[in-house]
Amino acid sequence: MSDRINYLVTGSMPAEQNQITERLDAGVEYPGVLFWQYDQAAIIMGCSQRPDEQQSARSMAAGLPIMRRNSGGGAVLAGPWMLSISVFIPTEHLIAQQNIIQIFGWLEQIWIAALEKCNVPCKGVDKALIDHSKEVSESQNLKWACYASLSHGEVVSEDGRKLVGLAQIRKKKGVVLVSGLHLYPCDWQQLSSIVVDNPEQGVQLEALNSDAQSLSGRAEDVLLPEIIQAFHEQLPDDFRVLS
């Protein structure tokens, strides 16, 4: 199992985004997977979100940088508690030829199989669960947060709390599916305090989310190499590990 943990890259969110961008710009020549764990905490906003002066001031006061990623979606508090897995697919690959719901469904099944093998109880989402999550997110004014609602291909606990979030970046020269698993809980109140100046919304977000450590009752440092190994084993044979 020790070689599996060597697949993991530890670094900053900008370094991860740079690698994703460089690989897409150069062209994805073969299927690959990048396992990444953030070495520092940061607020990550979607490409359509732009931090204003008040958000920037609050983040500076908290000593927590605000960054933007290349994919869409809402704000995320990223840090060592999150395992980021990016799956790179050439445009001509059969998987990349599927529509967005199908391709996310393919990745969802890989995540479910990997997590269940590591004794993390979970399930996929259906339209009813997605629609309900969006209603809750809107009624609680949480649409700004990535982990406030669900979309196709994402993974939840058995009682419907979000566990794995997904995003897609599609370019002419390749596709990358980016997913984030909470290994253990993040500080949801800190996220909401900085982004919307309302720590109470962090309580609401905490209730909508779960993490692998809490669901399995096993420590994050034990789970991490096991999840990496299990995920790698579920990928088709033509996928290579990237670093």
Angle between helices 53-62 and 188-196 (to 10 degrees): 140
User: Is the residue at 160 inside a domain?
Assistant: yes
According to the model, what pLDDT value does residue 44 have? 87
Q: Which of 76, 83, 19 is nearest to 45 (CA)?
A: 76
User: Is the residue at 71 inside a domain?
Assistant: yes
Domain count, the chain: 1
User: Is the residue at 73 inside a domain?
Assistant: yes
User: Which two tokens mark 76?
Assistant: 């995320």
User: Is the residue at 85 inside a domain?
Assistant: yes
pLDDT in tens, the chain (243 residues): 445 557 999 999 889 989 999 999 999 999 999 999 999 999 988 777 888 899 999 999 999 998 887 666 789 999 999 999 999 999 999 999 999 999 999 999 999 999 999 999 999 999 999 999 999 999 999 999 999 999 999 999 999 999 999 989 999 999 999 999 999 999 999 999 999 999 999 999 999 999 999 999 999 999 999 999 999 999 999 999 999
User: Is the residue at 50 inside a domain?
Assistant: yes
- What gap in Å lies between CA 102 and CA 84, rounded to an integer? 21
CATH number at residue 216: 3.30.930.10
User: Is the residue at 217 inside a domain?
Assistant: yes
Which residues have CB under 8 Å from 217's CB, separation 6+? none
From the CA atom positions of the chain, what is the Rg in Å?
17
User: Is the residue at 173 inside a domain?
Assistant: yes
Cross-strand partners of 124: 155
Which residues have CB under 8 Å from 207's CB, separation 6+? 161
According to the model, what pLDDT value does residue 4 have? 53
Domain hosting 138: range is: 2-235
Backbone angles phi, psi at 145, to 5 degrees: -100, 130
According to the model, what pLDDT value does residue 1 have? 43
User: Is the residue at 102 inside a domain?
Assistant: yes
